[in-house]
Structure 1
Amino acid sequence: MIFRKGELFNGPGGFALGASLARVEANGELYTVQHQWSNDYCDSACDTYTANICPDKPESVHRGDVRKLDLTSFEDIDAFIYGFPCNDFSVVGEKKGFDGNYGPLYTYGIRVLEHYRPKWFIAENVGGLQSANEGAAFIKILSDMTAAGYRLTPHLYNFADYGVPQNRQRILIVGFRNDLNMEFKVPAPTHGPGRDHPYKTAYEAITSPPIAEDADNHHMPVHTERVKKFLSYIPEGQNAWSQEIPEELRLNVKNVKMSQIYRRLDRNSPSYTVTGSGGGGTHMYHWSENRALTSRERARLQTFPDNFVFHGTKEKVRQQIGMAVPPDGAKAIIEAVLKTYAGVQYKSIKAKWDIDHLLKQTSMELVTL
């Protein structure tokens, strides 16, 4: 069975690549996911998505502001994925929630659910969503998805637990259409202490196999001598606030000590979270070499293969890589979705949130939104 997939806010195609790799054989049938259509407002992301996901069907990638699209004019779909913009829910931003420009954009996914009635969907956002608008935004979103006719399983995932060489926490909401009488179970983590596999390390991701010198998106960063000297004093796994940095080289910043500023990777652990924006000192730094990572190295930490080429300026490429869902993590979750549909049992854990309990909290909170 092939599930035809629609996607909003497609980014460079991390979720789409993971979906294309997902395979489940059961009941004498092969269950897969196939790209049908997608949308994003960023031209560079659309160029990347088209080149890597659907080069033979460029017209299926609808470019532009989702608020200006006729969402009822696309082809029919059986599955839907959308990582609605997280800028207003992220702990890195101002956390404006529904009061920002991006917070309300999740409603366009609700419109897709109501019009196309896909069998299942996955929505993705940052962990900060759970506390936006003092928690009311999360409940409102879940309430609207439930009202659209879906049984939900929301959970806070760390993709490192599923073989991604990066500590990256994201909320995924998986929903099955009510009439299917199916309930998604959170797949049990496969990586980490006491599990089937150890965590995949940053060193393993970046060096095995070695990245070819002429690989796409692998331009070495250029630093001033002062920055290189500054980095030389930072031990592996530590950051700009290391006590080993000489006084004359330390940053002249008061009352701010963000942990990711000039932070080196720890080669024996998954990396910290790859981000898509930020000023000096936020580009992620090699465990021993006195430099920032290349875009290709950051893409490795996100589990993109080296033949997945990102299009656009250096900053647009960084943005795409940092905002993407790791394909290997997406594949693990989508295969659990396919097993659920096929009736295949798999190891699972209890979801972080009980949907019925959460929705009982709606009466007071929603009035204030």
Structure 2
Amino acid sequence: MKIICSQIPKQIELPLQLVTYQNKFTFIDLFAGIGGFRIALEKLGGQCLGYSEVDKQAIKVYKQNFISYLNKDELDLGDITKISELPPYIDIIVGGVPCQPWSVAGCLKGFEDPRGKLWFDVIRLVRKSQPKAFIFENVSGLASPKNRDNLELILQQFQNIGYCVKWKILNAYDFGLPQNRDRVFIVGIKNNIDRYQEYKFPNPLNIHPKVLDILEDIKNIQVVEKVKLGSETLFRGVVPPSRTRFQKNDELNDFFIFSDLRNGHTTIHSWDIIFTTDREKMICLTLLKHRRSKKYGNKDGNPLSFKNFQEIISDIQVSELNELVKKSILRLTHDNKYEFVNSKNMTGINDIYRIILPTADIVPTLTATGAKDYIATVSIYATHPEDYKNIFLEKIYRNKKYIPITAKHACKLQGFPANFNYHEKDDIARKHFGNAVPVPVVEYVAKELLKTLEI
């Protein structure tokens, strides 16, 4: 077992600091939230002429961080739908347009959702004020095949009012933050400006601190080098197509998911947590394997009748299934079929969906609604998937060696400054950070824009 020293690379400044530079350009902060765009633009020398936000708690946080006697006359523009005009001489308009209409969590209603129609207010204000450029951010779902026509409509509308528009999906991980956060960035430049077509999105920084590098609670944990394993050992020879860029096909995962609907070398099932016999585990895995078969129904996950089980396990007894019902692993449906009690993936088990190891490269995307995600406070080492799961259960889960992701963590994971004053209530602050834009990504996108505008 080899122990590696882990530290934040010297090239990156984490976290960003609120500093004041001589003003080089002006900007308007739409859908301002708690000021993620503003932090980055002020760092680059921008002066905010006004901000628009409707969430009263977010406005409170925004004001306590940015509005003082030095800029007390700065315009609070309020609800974007009620803004008739913006201040004159604007260089850049920025904003994180509400993303729920385009996200899976928001049911993908797009322009059918009133929040989706806010894009037309954005276009209206850009057309009327004619800034030199703009930067807008949204969830990656806006660029999904389902929403691609809507994205093209938005881009076309901007082109129709005189802007060269480019977009790209950028991930916070590529800009020095250990968070898997894909977001669409849309940049537009007035087509009467020299070099307006030359804008290029920033390249990844290739600076990758681990989770423990930026979170004080776990920074002293030793990083253990993982062993390399073959696909036969990890996946029984078949690599799942759903694996992300952050999951290596020759290493054990850096997280454990609590779910009865999935299976993998770091999936914890309810029958792993409570006492069950090998026979009971086999019955549960049988339901897990066959519940999505079209033979048993058209749902994404179908309950199985006793007769269905008999077709697969010829000697199964009703009493065995009922024993799993008593253990609250299975339940009977209204038509006398069996399904898992934990039948929704993101709800997890015992109020836990994911536990991320401190040595992980990333945490999952922070959300406004919050996920049942935790961070382990100790690291583990194993040379085989089965041992890995057992060690995790004994050393981390049963000993409760894990902590929730708090507002303090979210602040750093979004690249906000160490001296940022977030809301005193942790749940509200976590919501604000879940809605926020990752500050370093904005900084590098804006830096390239300022080069193009020769500011």
Q: TM-score when scaled to structure 1?
A: 0.74
* Corresponding residue for residue 225 of structure 1: none
State the 1:312 CA deviation: 6.0
| Residues 84 and 125, structure 1, Cα contact 8 Å, conserved in 2 | yes
State the 1:73 CA deviation: 4.9
1:34 aligns with 2:34: no
- Aligned-residue identity in percent: 27
1:285 aligns with 2:307: no
For 1:97-246, what aligned pairs fall within 5 Å after superposition?
97-131=110-144, 134-181=147-194, 182-183=196-197, 184-191=199-206, 197=207, 199-207=208-216, 237-241=255-259, 242-243=267-268, 245-246=272-273
Change (3 A) 1:286 1:135: same
1:47 aligns with 2:60: yes
Q: Aligned partners of 2:38, 2:176: CA distance in 1, in Å? A: 18
Residues 307-361 of structure 1: CA distance to partner in whole angstroms, max 9, x if unpaired?
A: 1011364332121111101112211111111122229xxxxxxxxxxxxxxxxxx
| Residues 30 and 96, structure 2, Cα contact 8 Å, conserved in 1 | yes
Change (3 A) 1:239 1:55: farther
Q: Aligned partners of 1:311, 1:59: CA distance in 2, in Å? A: 23
| Residues 110 and 147, structure 2, Cα contact 8 Å, conserved in 1 | no
State the 1:300 CA deviation: 0.9
* Corresponding residue for residue 74 of structure 2: 60
Structure 2, unmatched stretches of 5+, are: 1-22, 221-252, 260-266, 275-326, 330-339, 378-400
* Corresponding residue for residue 307 of structure 1: 419
* Corresponding residue for residue 317 of structure 1: 429
| Residues 29 and 37, structure 2, Cα contact 8 Å, conserved in 1 | no
| Residues 17 and 53, structure 1, Cα contact 8 Å, conserved in 2 | no
Q: Aligned partners of 1:202, 1:321: CA distance in 2, in Å? A: 17
1:11 aligns with 2:39: no
Residues 207-251 of structure 1: CA distance to partner in whole angstroms, max 9, x if unpaired?
A: 39979xxxxxxxxxxxxxxxxxxxxxxx96112123364146979
Structure 1, unmatched stretches of 5+, are: 23-31, 192-196, 212-234, 344-369
Residues 239-284 of structure 1: CA distance to partner in whole angstroms, max 9, x if unpaired?
A: 2123364146979321535789521223330221111114xxx143
Change (3 A) 1:257 1:13: closer
1:262 aligns with 2:353: yes
Change (3 A) 1:41 1:271: same
State the 1:8 CA deviation: 1.0
Q: Secondary structure at the match of 2:441?
A: helix
State the 1:82 CA deviation: 1.5
Select 1:253's aligned residue among 342, 345, 363. 342
State the 1:126 CA deviation: 0.3
Give 1 or 2 for the bigger CA radius of gyration.
2
Code of the aligned partner of 2:204 = P
Change (3 A) 1:61 1:270: farther
* Corresponding residue for residue 448 of structure 2: 336
Change (3 A) 1:111 1:58: farther
Q: Secondary structure at the match of 2:62?
A: helix
Code of the aligned partner of 1:237 = F
State the Cα RMSD in Å.
Answer: 2.7
Change (3 A) 1:75 1:158: same
* Corresponding residue for residue 288 of structure 2: none
Q: Aligned partners of 1:134, 1:308: CA distance in 2, in Å? A: 35
User: What is the count of residue pairs matched by the alignment?
Assistant: 301
Q: Secondary structure at the match of 1:47?
A: helix
Q: TM-score when scaled to structure 2?
A: 0.61
| Residues 165 and 200, structure 1, Cα contact 8 Å, conserved in 2 | yes
| Residues 97 and 133, structure 1, Cα contact 8 Å, conserved in 2 | no
